[in-house]
Structure 1
Amino acid sequence: MEWSITLLHIWNFIKEWYWVPLTVLYIMVIVTILIENRNPTKTIAWILVIVFLPFIGIILYFFFGQKFKKDEFFKRIDKNHQKIINEKWTEMDQFVQDDLDKVNTRIGSLSQVYRYLNNARVAYPATNNKVKLLTNGEDKFPLFLEALREAKDHIHLEYYIFDEDHIGNEIIDILIEKAKNGVEVRVTADDFGSSKLNKHHSRFDGTGVEFQTFLPVRFSSLANSNYRNHRKILIVDGKKAFLGGINISDKYINQNGVISPNNKIYWRDTSVMIEGDSINSLQLHFYLNWMMTEGKKYNISDSNYFYNSQSKIFEDAATVSFGLSSPGSDLHSAMEAMVLAITLAKKKVQLCTPYFIPSDEFKTAMMIAVSSGVEVELIIPKKGDSIVVQQASLS
């Protein structure tokens, strides 16, 4: 009887005063959102969700709205690693300035895009490169597999989607074979994009392949789950590299220019194969991402990891740089480089993308270009692989 009376009193107290701790919690969450100094649009959106969806709004914010704490995630990259990167830039400074002068002579004011990427310590311009455009997986993967088979010193592979299908297993077999033959093989795959492969990581045990999961998705890290590694990079012996939009998956391979049995739609994507000095920037960024995993440290200063610019001078060489961004970074170099390029355009801007949901800054740059008399062309899929993204793009 006494227990019943006590529980009744507690329940009555909760019903009468529940709003006090709930109000305090709401105030704390809203203040947290405000002091995080996030995008004003996102700030207002999350506050509205929390206010108009009681309880549910706070739960959604806890799992998906918290700002990514980059300091915690980047703690594996110590000062010595960053010091190496800065030293490399200092070492390359004279060559970089010479290359910037060459680019300025060739393309005038558009060279400011390369200057921006260099000054931001993202990637320095490299003028001695051979670049081959690869349309779709049927163009990419034969050259991709050939490069892997020719590897003699090291293979660095970093991918968002790495499926265990026909092409994926063929690549895995080559990686294991190369590792057993003494080639250094380092592989990192995003945990969201390559969840199945990461679950089966034990297949690399004892093979010599150093395999690491990038940013594991766990219940405690759902707030960071949107910060993924979307890079698709292969570097072989510091001499040849592949990057672009094509992941490791059968669905990217159409058969004889038509839809393959693995696809419900014709898959159109692009990658590039690069030989030349620009590979050195990719090596530095692969190293940084590798050190954000549990991967074993290696000597990034080893000359074997870098392209020897004196080994081959390409005729009609291409100038290459990269807009590389990292999860949680305040610098959005890829987007900012494109915005800068659009604003510098004099005649024509051509855009081709599967997912077109531009920021306000990007839309403004496009509209200014159009108003300035620049011809702007945009290609998006007639039928994409995501209904939500498709509708957002068409809006």
Structure 2
Amino acid sequence: MNDIRQTRPTLLYVDDEELACKYFARTVGAEYDVLVARSSDEASAILLQDSARIAVLVTDFRMPGRDGGDLLRQVAQEYPHIIRILVTAYADKDVLLQTVNAGEVFRILEKPLTPAIVRETLHVAFDRYHERALQNQRLMAMGETLAFLAHELNTPLAAIALNARSIENRTDGEQDSGRAHDADGEIAGAARSMRESAQYCISVVSSFWRSVHNGHRRLAGSDPRNEVTANGLISALLDTYPFATTQRTWVQVDVVGDFPVVTQPNCVALVLSSLLSNALRALADVSAPSVRFTVRAEPEPGISICDNGPGIPPEVKASLLTDPITTHAKSGGNGLGLILCNRVMQSCGGGIRIESTPGGGTTVMLDFPPIKDKTHRSY
């Protein structure tokens, strides 16, 4: 990872005035390789050839043809790894608010340019670029490790699921032929539980790897338009979860107000997957099963998962988040799920609350830290 800063940093400066280009290159040329362009189209051509080595774009706003705002939007979409800085006159500021609010610019430099301010702004911009690069390298290493682990774990898990299915089929055949023994039913039940547990583990490992992989792709651009939201995590979960038979039809989602999940979204996705699994298990013998996800941004952000299952006895509920207690021991539960889920949520600045009564279903609430920017989406 130490090779990120070894090469001479490169920036692209765009201005239709030749003297402005020469002045800028002379001002910062001792520290950076400076590429110059006299128009947005010329800048696009340079980016097409050299985008991999360009870390920072500095562009004037008012230029003939495509203005700097249009160039910034293009770079934000096609080269999101590049840190974007806009040069503008004071009179342009009101016009450029939309560009700033859309996240298409990192900083604004006001004309006439002051060498000290330019150098300071560039130092901050290149620090941001290096920080992103380091994060990307760490995520790439994590992704490669997870891909290896996913393969190493999924292969034996798939074999377990296949062997369990074979045992199920064999015991079912014995029962159909009338040669079944009393123990065959227990064997078939154990095999079914083994297969379902193996399939669930395969799903969790695969979902976690995909989540980290997608998180790496998002971070590579750090594009605010690609933020991870609570509703987005639930949608991704429902798209990938290995539902059995009609289980998908049991699940409903209500979005009162969506919000960004900033901290460890891949881990929050695992929590949601674990809670969905718990709910589906609780509903195995319910005549009209129902699971409802509700997303709220106010008064504080949170996700609730409500099922109409048999509920949890008070003495069990009181210790679910602290002691290794399980109501699914016969189907492979180990009682550690909710404890770990709560620790994950606490590490994100939130926590888990549980409401349940025997015969009245269960609601698990995920609490998230307050949203700094209250401009969330409502539905």
TM over 0.5: no
Structure 1 or 2, whichever has the larger Rg, is 2
RCO higher in structure (CA 8 A, sep ≥6): 1
TM-score w.r.t. the length of structure 1 is 0.22
TM-score w.r.t. the length of structure 2 is 0.23
